[in-house]
């Protein structure tokens, strides 16, 4: 296989979505939209919204706890913590440091990765690198967590209907005796030329927060949806083919595909380009909308817990997001012991 070091395993998964459900009909009461438009253009029927006072780190903690439970590891066995997010609790310190404290972990390295909707796949490669490079790291917790409701422009119907809040987590381990999904490879890429296609201009060093920047709605997510759609399909198809080639696995042998859950039409188009049946894709975009860095680990956790993924099956994960960034990975699933 493509690994040039010890194998790394997904030994546990967990996810969390806030209780509050916002349906398409609920949304049609405050923006000019309809359930019919949202369902036919995106497949989304509802999304979850964080409770008052509930922040990204709280959702990350819930998902991480469940993943650690499945992996049967305690707080003292976590050797590093990575949070993939574009909606951190605050600009700094990292959300990972806040989660480390809330989970009661030891004085381990904790940091955030920002690759937007590809953040979980970027985090996988980062965690894999840490585990492969130094045997003192045995378990890394990686969480994709987002409170997108905090950066959505609730007056912009073209974007506000698309996103939701949630978190998904994995425990990655170099202990092969514990079982789990073996990561066979990761492919990543970025093209900063297309950065303006999805971005939040305000709140950084370019447009610091001022009364004017807030009034000009600079602190909300902006997106050119149509352009992103085309590039997303292209990048995900290429990501899928590249990782299969790297791992020397045939497309026909893939048992399950978990794409970033942004829009069912993007997923259908990727499936059709790859000539794969949609039955291989356990999608949940209808329930959660686009949860950015949380979307792949949330869908992975639901697929595993509902026994959608059988032992010995190849699982292909592909993501795409702001940056623009993309990433893909192939895992051979075996239930953790
Ligand atoms: O994680 C990666 C991040 N981003 C994405 O994955 C998004 C990728 N893009 C998309 O999913 C799609 O482009 C959208 C769902 C955002 C939009 O679908 P579309 O088929 O590309 O529609 P459109 O933007 O071309 O808009 C078509 C029409 C427009 O009206 P006119 O100009 O034709 O009169 C929009 O104003 O639909 C209108 N529209 C809406 N109508 C009702 C836009 N949003 C809404 C809405 N309800 N919520």
Q: What string of H, E and C letters represents the secondary structure of the chain?
A: CCCCCCCEEEEEEEEECCCEEEEHHHHCCCCCCCHHHHHHHHCCCEEEECCCCCCHHHHHHHHHHHHHHHHCCCHHHCCEEEEECCCCCCCCCCHHHHHHHHHCCCCCCEEEECCHHHHHHHHHHHHHHHHHHCCCCCEEEEEEEEEHHHCCCCCCHHHHCCECEEEEEEEEECCHHHECEEEEEEEEEECHHHHHHEECCCCCCCCCCCHHHHHCCCCCCEECHHHHHHHHHHHHHHHHHHHHHHHCCCHHHEEEEEECCCCHHHHHHHHHHHCCCHHHCCCCHHHHCECHHHHHHHHHHHHHHCCCCCCCCEEEEEEEECCCEEEEEEEECCCEC
* pLDDT at residue 176 tops 80: no
pLDDT for 4: 59
Average pLDDT over residues 214-229: 96
pLDDT for 178: 79
Q: Residues of CATH 3.40.47.10 domain(s) within the chain? A: 8-182, 184-281+316-332
Regarding the beta carbon of 262 and ligand 1, being less than 6 Å apart is answered: yes
For the stretch 82-121, pLDDT in tens is 999 999 999 999 999 999 999 999 999 999 999 999 999 9
pLDDT for 336: 85
For the stretch 96-106, pLDDT in tens is 999 999 999 99
Regarding the beta carbon of 228 and ligand 1, being less than 6 Å apart is answered: yes
Å from CA of 156 to ligand 1 middle: 11
pTM of the model: 0.96
247 belongs to the catalytic site = no
Minimal-distance CA residue to ligand 1 atom 47? 33
Regarding the beta carbon of 42 and ligand 1, being less than 6 Å apart is answered: yes
* pLDDT at residue 278 tops 50: yes
pLDDT for 5: 67
Pick the CATH number of 8-182 from 3.90.1150.10, 3.30.70.1380, 3.40.47.10, 3.40.50.620: 3.40.47.10
**Percent of the chain surpassing pLDDT 70:** 99
pLDDT for 88: 98
Å from CA of 152 to ligand 1 middle: 15
* pLDDT at residue 2 tops 60: no
Å from CA of 264 to ligand 1 middle: 13
pLDDT for 1: 44
Give the mutation target among 23, 223, 225, 236 for probing the ligand 1 site: most ligand atoms within 8 A of CB.
Answer: 225
Average pLDDT over residues 27-51: 98
Average pLDDT over residues 188-217: 97
Å from CA of 116 to ligand 1 middle: 20
Band of pLDDT at residue 175, cut at 50, 70 and 90: confident
* pLDDT at residue 79 tops 90: yes
* pLDDT at residue 328 tops 80: yes
* pLDDT at residue 187 tops 60: yes
Q: Specify the CATH class of 184-281+316-332 in words.
A: alpha beta
Give the mutation target among 229, 267, 291, 324 for probing the ligand 1 site: most ligand atoms within 8 A of CB.
Answer: 229
**Percent of the chain surpassing pLDDT 90:** 95
* pLDDT at residue 39 tops 70: yes
* pLDDT at residue 151 tops 70: yes
Query: pLDDT averaged over the chain?
Result: 96
């Amino acid at each position: 296989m493509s690994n040039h070091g010890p194998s790394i395993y997904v030994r546990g998964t967990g996810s969390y979505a806030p209780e509050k459900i916002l349906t398409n009909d609920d949304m049609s009461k405050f923006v000019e939209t309809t359930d019919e438009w949202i369902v036919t253009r995106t497949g989304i029927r509802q999304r979850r919204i964080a409770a008052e006072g509930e922040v990204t780190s709280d959702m990350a903690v819930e998902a991480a706890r469940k993943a650690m439970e499945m992996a049967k590891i305690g707080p003292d066995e976590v050797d590093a913590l990575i949070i993939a997010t574009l909606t951190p609790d605050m600009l700094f310190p990292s959300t990972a440091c806040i989660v480390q404290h809330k989970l009661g972990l030891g004085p381990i390295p904790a940091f955030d990765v920002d690759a937007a909707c590809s953040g979980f796949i970027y985090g996988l490669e980062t965690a894999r690198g840490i585990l492969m490079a130094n045997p003192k790291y045995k378990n890394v917790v990686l969480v994709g967590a987002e409170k997108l409701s905090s950066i959505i422009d609730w007056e912009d119907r073209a974007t506000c209907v698309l996103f939701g809040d949630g978190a998904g987590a994995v425990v990655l381990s170099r202990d092969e005796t514990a079982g789990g999904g073996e990561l066979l490879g990761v492919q990543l890429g970025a093209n900063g030329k297309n950065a303006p296609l999805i971005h939040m201009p305000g709140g950084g060093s370019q447009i610091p927060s001022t009364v004017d920047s807030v009034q000009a709605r600079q602190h909300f997510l902006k997106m050119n949806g149509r352009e992103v759609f085309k590039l997303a399909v292209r990048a995900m198809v290429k990501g899928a083919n590249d990782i299969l080639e790297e791992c020397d696995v045939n497309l026909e042998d893939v048992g399950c595909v978990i794409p970033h859950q942004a829009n069912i039409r993007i997923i259908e188009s990727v499936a059709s380009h790859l000539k794969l049946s949609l039955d291989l894709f356990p999608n949940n975009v209808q329930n959660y909308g686009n949860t950015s860095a949380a979307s792949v680990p949330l869908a992975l956790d639901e697929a595993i817990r509902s026994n959608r993924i059988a032992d010995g099956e190849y699982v292909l994960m592909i993501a795409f997001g702001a940056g623009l960034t993309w990433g893909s990975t192939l895992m051979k699933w075996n239930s953790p012991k």
